[in-house]
Amino acid sequence: MSTGTLRQDLELANWTSGTVNSAGTGATMAMGRGEATRERILAITEAAVLAKGFGATSIEEVIAEAGITKSGFFYHFRDKNELARALLQRYMERDDALLDDVFARGRELATDPLNGFLVGLKLLAETMADLPGGHPGCLVATYAYQERLFDRGVCELNQHIVFHWRARFRTLLEEIVEHSETKEPVDLDALADMVSTVIEGGLVLGRATGDPNILPKQLMLLRSYIKLLFEPATSAVH
């Protein structure tokens, strides 16, 4: 397992919790011993899963990397499916924290929902561009391609996260529609899915090409599309 990949995962955890590295270290120190061990298991496993897939990640290697016993691992996770669920839940919580933060800041800096959404997308692009080595990848996509490895509960949770993204972005788009007219009819569910598709596609292309700048650039192109779709020609967004 690459220590560089684990480092990227921990950097991402700090970004998505809205803290800098020093604050993240303080939070870890404040954890109980059991909580800290559980978090370390999850961080190590996520880095390995994003690097080579869930099927190729063994409990034994996680135990060795974490420096714990097998009984210590099973104290926290009954089996690999329970570990998979915990990883997904943790991923969703961090993802929510990041998106809540950038779009809340965007709304604070703007005078209306459209400008707030545009600023939020720009902040998200900047956040992704600032991650050392780029974003390490998406667990949801990884799980989707290996769903035969998981029980029904894990697969349903993975699907729930995708629908959760749709609902999140649709809510923001509905606020825009209340204050702006589209230049052509638009399916808000499809448009909300487009936001997720750009993010997921940018992650995949960035990983395939080794170019971490693809995702930020795609987010800025999405921003331009949303701006053209909703904004009157006489208006300007700075």
CA distance 30 to 22: 12
Say what the pTM is. 0.81
| pLDDT, tens digit, 9 for 90 and up, residues 66-92 | 999 999 999 999 999 999 999 999 999
Closest CA to 122 of 227, 228, 225, 220: 220
Distances (CA, A) of 29 to 35, 91, 110, 238: 10, 21, 37, 42
> Between 226 and 13, whose confidence is greater?
226
Torsion angles phi and psi, residue 235, rounded to 5: -95, 160
